[in-house]
Structure 1
Amino acid sequence: MKKLLLTMTAVAGLALASNAQEFGFDKGNFIVEGNLGFNTQDNKNAEIKTTNFNFNPQVGYFVTDKIAVGIFAKVGTSNEDNYGEGVDIQEKASTFDIGAFGRYYFLELGSRFKTYAEVAAGYESENGETVTAGSSVKDPKISGFGANAGIGAQFFLTDKIAVNYKFANVIGFNSSKVDVDGAKATTGFNVNLNSFENFFNSGQFGLTFKF
């Protein structure tokens, strides 16, 4: 009987400790995040194979319990291989972005689930080349500026680690120019409300580490 009471007391203590554990952020916390994306598609009808990869790390600091600011980077590669023309033609591109972001946590659903709005702006660059039968020709460099706003959500697995999901950008603006004499800038503005209907197709999963 004594052993049973001790066991029940220990289980109750663990349950209370688990329930008392707080999930979230405090002023002075740091976060390190990373979103990774990869896809490949081989269209045998068009005889074109495409491969894309991107990695988006970022570091943030909480200036209040609900507001974080930080810096981000994004690297990506893409390859389109047209193997149906008798001569293999590949269009390759690599991208690099760097900038700053601000984030506001506005809704909590339970103790572990947090949602936020985020704005970001930064420098963008792209280098490309066309490879025909093993012979490479460099494409002109493209550089520019971009800004966007979107929302995301986090689910805490522990008090230090959360699964992060970033929806597609709801609002975005960009301006870019090809690095050749006489080139003019190309600008674009978009509002993507469809991200709420197809968010699993348009967003990215990642991990958040709190320090």
Structure 2
Amino acid sequence: MKKIILSLAAVLAFSAANAQDKKESKGFGFSEGNIFVGGLVSYSSEKNDNGTTSVTTSGYEISPEVGYFLTDNFALTAGLSLGNTDNGTTKTNTFGLNVGGRYYFLNMGERFKTYTNFGFGIGSDDNGGSPADKTNTFEIGGGLGINYFVTPNLAIDFRLANVISYSTEKTGDAKTNTLELEANVFKNFFDTPSFGLIYKF
């Protein structure tokens, strides 16, 4: 009888644990094996009128991204960016590729998930189509971000600019190296945030 009771208890415990796992997998947040796709789309238009001439500059950027969770907290990411600006006289095209990772380290309630991101990217800017003026860039950086889950699968992705970054830019024979450290993340928070959407599979 004792063996039967223990066997029943083990079965019930296993069933409860299995049900809990299924419940958690349908909850807000991520787990090992999840895949997400997302990114951002932005458009801007600015008119500059000095009383004599009027110039309107418009531009857009599309930045898709995909990530795969190796653990419940860490995901590898890869993305690209395509952009264009046009002031009526000159059209400039930009292109970039990046790889990196995200580490989720803090849950602020059920729907808010905080992460740190890091990675490197390469890009190019044709500066209006002149080969001699083409700019090539390389950047390494890391920053912070927050996800807010609207549903268990759809989240708003709020990203700060890089807290720390190193970049090089080369245009012709001219080369510029830049190292930036934004220790004041609140200034960073208000200056250069970006919004996007991610969908979890």
TM over 0.5: same fold? Answer: yes
The yes-or-no answer on 1:43 pairing with 2:36 is: no
1:185 lines up with 2:175 in the alignment: yes
1:33 aligns with 38
RMSD: 2.3
Deviation of 1:139 after TM superposition, in Å, equals 5.2
Separation in structure 2 between the aligned mates of residue 26 and residue 49 of structure 1, nearest angstrom? 46
Deviation at 1:48, TM superposition (A): 3.5
Alpha-carbon separation, structure 2, partners of 1:172 and 1:69: 19
What are the ranges of 5 or more consecutive residues in structure 2 without an aligned counterpart? 1-22
After superposition, the C-alpha distances for 1:109-163 in whole angstroms (9 at most, x for unaligned) are 1111111100020211111227xxxxxx665322131111111111111111111
- Contact conserved, 2:93 with 2:128, CA < 8 A, in 1? no
Aligned to 2:200: 210
Q: 1:205 Cα deviation (Å)? A: 1.0
Aligned counterpart for 2:82 among listed residues 75, 79, 83 = 75
* CA separation of 1:192 and 1:50: change in aligned 2, threshold 3 A: farther
Report SS of the residue matched to 1:197.
helix
Q: Distance in 2 between matches of 1:92 and 1:59?
A: 29
When residues 198 and 80 of structure 1 are mapped into structure 2, their CA distance, relative to the original with a 3 A threshold, is farther
Q: Given residue 74 of structure 1, which amino acid in structure 2 is its aligned partner?
A: S
Task: Spell out the pairing of 1:98-109 with structure 2 (5 A cutoff).
Answer: 98-109=97-108
Q: Give 1 or 2: higher helix fraction.
A: 2
Separation (CA, whole Å) in 1 of partners of 2:134 and 2:191: 30
Match of 1:22 in 2: 27
What is the one-letter code of the residue matched to 1:25? F
Change (3 A) 1:195 1:127: farther
Same amino acid, percent of matched pairs: 34
1:83-113: CA deviation from partner (whole Å, max 9, x where unpaired): xxxxxxx233111110201111111111111
Per-residue CA distance 1:47-102 (angstroms, 9 max, x = gap): 33222211111111001100001211011112235xxxxxxxx2331111102011
Q: Which runs of 5+ in 1 are unaligned?
A: 1-18, 82-89, 131-136
What is the CA–CA distance in structure 2 between the aligned matches of 1:96 and 1:165, rounded to whole Å? 22
Residue 189 of structure 2 corresponds to 199
Provide TM-score, normalisation by structure 2.
Answer: 0.78
Map residues 1-211 of structure 1 onto 2, 5 A cutoff: 22-45=27-50, 47-81=54-88, 90-129=89-128, 140-178=133-171, 180=172, 183-193=173-183, 196-197=186-187, 199=189, 201-211=191-201
Kept in 1, the 8 Å contact 2:83–2:93? The answer is yes
Distance in 1 between the 2:184 and 2:43 partners? 22
